[in-house]
Structure 1
Amino acid sequence: MADDHPFIPELETEPTGFSRTLARHGLKLTRGHTQILQVNVGLLCNQTCGHCHLNAGPGKTEVMTRQTADQIADWAERVSFEAIDITGGAPEMNPDIVTIVKTFAALAPKLIFRSNLSALNSGGREHLMDLLKSLQATIVASFASINEAQADAQRGDGIFKASVAALQKLNAMGYGQPGTGLELNLVSNPTGAFMAADQAQTEKRFRQMLESKWGITFNHLFSFSNAPLGRFRRWLERSGNLPAYLKKLADAFNPCALDGVMCRTLVSVSWDGYLYDCDFNLARGLPMGRNRVHVTDMIGRPEQGNPIATADHCYTCTAGAGFT
């Protein structure tokens, strides 16, 4: 199926040529001091979300092996990153996720675990929740909407209730509660060809609604626009919304957001061990600095000042307040 195609041809034409926009502003996007190692452990997921930039889903076979995880760990041990960020797909579904979590937790002061909540709260994964708690891992959870119909339309029937139940269980464990040190952050994405709403207002609304209706608390909420990649881009193309959406992002370009974009301080490693400037570039098939480099070829951190590979999806991270 066309929807399963992993990458898309590059679009660098006016008026949405990101590199041209940088040039017009006299800007360059280069790597700073790399602090965060993001590890994508595979595209296997229990959901088929309409906004997914990675085309993740239940039938995916791109899953990180123990050998690749060990190769990444060897590099991380040499470099000493400030934080390691484990993501997917649904990272919970990697068969070696417990070992992977334990391995990377020992290699950085901070461990971040990204979850869609429903996968974390299914299949007898209470042991994984307990492990994350014992390691004081920060959980970053995708929670698309406080509207059940909207959330299920984007992520699948029944996902909203499963996500609420997972948040309640995490709260009961101490996550998102004052004084526990167990950080629980939410990520919200709009439904449809719209840019993200104001983050402060969205957080306030989510906090009030989740606490009043379900007794749920959390630390922070991040409201991000959807990157025009993967399954979301396919929908934009089919619905005829792609040109208008790209123009919205381009028109909202904020040169002041460039310093804070994640690709300046993060390096992303794919399930097969190849390096990318960020998870969006991984989805796009744009390797780090446009050079295909495997983790086994790395000695130290990516060099500061190296150019970062860009394409039209980079407008997502520089629109409005930015995407950090």
Structure 2
Amino acid sequence: MAFATKSLKAQHHQFANPAFQLDVLQQPLHGEPFPLFSERLQQHGLFPLRPVGTTILQVNVGKMCNQTCRHCHVDAGPDRKEIMTRDTLQLCLDVLAQAPQLTTVDITGGAPEMNPDFRWFVEELSKLNRQVIVRCNLTIILANKKYHDLPLFFKENWVQVVSSLPYFQASRTDAQRGEGVFEKSIKALQLLNEVGYGKEGSGLKLDLVYNPSGAFLPASQKSLEAEFKRRLRSGYSIEFNNLFCITNLPVSRYLDYLVESGNYESYMEKLISAFNPAAAANVMCRNTISVGWDGYLYDCDFNQMLELGVEPGAPQHIRDFNLAQLDARNIVLNQHCYGCTAGAGSSCGGETAG
């Protein structure tokens, strides 16, 4: 029997609880259980799903953020106190010093810049000659005077900036991220452009992230990128390098939204029916390890938020990091994984089946 949507609506405050979210994701669809994601992979010869060689260390340095976005899978906000300590950041640096295969460090949050040791960490990463990605929400640059020099700091350390901009119009951006966010984001993008980010020949990469504002899959990344570039250039003289389209996964606040709006079953149907084996073969968990704010290891950022640690038997914490053992593990799967394999696929770098 299908679950009672009304009872879930009455409990939507529980969507901050990973166990509750996982229970919801197991609910029947139209009287029948959801087809298991693992079985779908097995049908295409992709199970068990394993790494193809880990090259990216994604580090969540804390859940504190100056925004409280409607669809945030991290459930981040100003009230979150989880912050990675310098000791744990140092453990990440120690791992990188011993593992040249890890060529890229992807720093995320929350707003990663709010970690008190953020700048120290970036500077230490620069000394290790790694590609450093910072997932900046843009408004943090304007949030406080102490952040106003971030564009220059990013430039000095050759940071690749990846920033979320849900749309090229204020109404849709503000509906998802909060009133006034679009205007502040535009100003921050202009400040990044002023120091060279997104400009041809500068070598300073500025990429934007688009994710849908409702219960639907993103359109073609190529066509959306062209439209974003045209609109931002003509309206605000803004330049950027790439647009990454990311599918909203049914996790945390977005799962809450789906249930509360009555879109849960139809959205899961969209994800399941759009399963693409080419996208599944290239999911980001095959070349990425995610480090939680407390140092525990996960197959991806979404598993981290659901507290689905890496497979038992593999190293569980950054202090015990062993790349050979981690590359031999089976990746932990659940029903939310349909989000990364629908249509053209989804990852922190956009489409995966292009």
Q: Is TM more than 0.5 here?
A: yes
SS at match of 1:9: helix
**Structure 1 position 223, deviation (Å):** 1.1
- Contact 2:141–2:149 under 8 Å retained in 1: no
Q: Using the aligned pairs only, state the percent identity.
A: 43
**Structure 1 position 195, deviation (Å):** 0.8
- Partners of 2:45 and 2:154 lie apart in 1 by 44
Structure 1 residues 27-176: aligned runs within 5 Å: 27-28=46-47, 29-80=49-100, 81-124=102-145, 125-176=147-198
Counterpart of 1:9 in structure 2 is: 22
Q: Which runs of 5+ in 2 are unaligned?
A: 1-12, 348-354
- Partners of 1:254 and 1:302 lie apart in 2 by 29
Counterpart of 1:307 in structure 2 is: 330
**Structure 1 position 9, deviation (Å):** 2.4
Matched, 1:298 2:318: no
- Contact 1:290–1:309 under 8 Å retained in 2: no
**Structure 1 position 290, deviation (Å):** 5.1
**Structure 1 position 64, deviation (Å):** 0.7
Counterpart of 1:24 in structure 2 is: 43
Counterpart of 2:343 in structure 1 is: 320
- Contact 2:104–2:130 under 8 Å retained in 1: yes
- Partners of 2:141 and 2:304 lie apart in 1 by 24
- Partners of 1:40 and 1:87 lie apart in 2 by 5
SS at match of 1:120: helix
CA separation of 1:150/1:299 partners in 2, compared to 1, >3 Å: closer, same or farther?
Answer: same
**Structure 1 position 73, deviation (Å):** 1.3
Q: CA RMSD in A?
A: 1.6
**Structure 1 position 79, deviation (Å):** 1.1
**Structure 1 position 6, deviation (Å):** 5.0
Structure 1 runs, 4 residues or longer, greater than 4 Å off: none
- Contact 1:79–1:301 under 8 Å retained in 2: no
- Partners of 1:170 and 1:305 lie apart in 2 by 40
**Structure 1 position 108, deviation (Å):** 4.2
**Structure 1 position 120, deviation (Å):** 2.6
- Shifted more, 311-320 versus 289-298: the winner is 289-298
- Contact 1:83–1:108 under 8 Å retained in 2: no
**Structure 1 position 299, deviation (Å):** 3.5
1:112 corresponds to which letter in structure 2? I
- Partners of 1:86 and 1:24 lie apart in 2 by 35
Counterpart of 2:221 in structure 1 is: 199
- Partners of 1:187 and 1:175 lie apart in 2 by 15
**Structure 1 position 304, deviation (Å):** 2.8
- Shifted more, 184-193 versus 117-126: the winner is 117-126
1:20 corresponds to which letter in structure 2? E
Taking structure 2 as the reference length, the TM-score comes to: 0.88
Residue 234 of structure 1, aligned match among 256, 268, 272: 256
Counterpart of 1:220 in structure 2 is: 242
- Shifted more, 4-13 versus 198-207: the winner is 4-13
- Partners of 2:129 and 2:324 lie apart in 1 by 14
SS at match of 1:289: coil
SS at match of 1:112: strand
SS at match of 2:294: coil
1:91 corresponds to which letter in structure 2? P
- Partners of 1:217 and 1:277 lie apart in 2 by 33
1:247 corresponds to which letter in structure 2? E
**Structure 1 position 301, deviation (Å):** 4.7
Counterpart of 1:188 in structure 2 is: 210
SS at match of 1:313: helix
- Contact 1:32–1:305 under 8 Å retained in 2: no
**Structure 1 position 129, deviation (Å):** 2.4
**Structure 1 position 282, deviation (Å):** 0.6
